[in-house]
Homo-oligomer: A and B are copies of this chain.
């Protein structure tokens, strides 16, 4: 695993950083390293992209965590908690524009300088499910 890019964002402190891209309108840039730039051709036709990045400021993990949205312990894999055995995040962000190897994106929820492993186009035919239920997360929302 080796980064193909670095993400530039307004967030230099974990405490300021939004928890999920759906809660952020922040704008940032994905700077793809020049040797991978040819792989971006036609990406600009997609409105949204999936970023696979490393939570590079997360160290260690425990298997039971209290997510920020709830006050109960849950299994780590039943949450989106960033400290994980393989700490990879996968936000969906809006692609505003591509300028050669630079992608302007909206909905950034990561720290400035975050290393990126992959970029994939968001395709609802593959990536969307509607007949869902969400366990503790639904229960927490119903309590709100």
Contact = CB atoms under 8 A, between A and B. Distances in A.
Contacts of A128: 128-130
Nearest to A50: B90
Nearest to A21: B126
Q: How many copies make up the complex? A: 2
A75 B42 CA distance: 6
Interface string A1-40: 1101000000000000000111000000000100010111
A103 to B, nearest CB: 9
A56 interface: no
A60 interface: no
Given A2-B86, A63-B39, A125-B22, A45 B117 contact: no
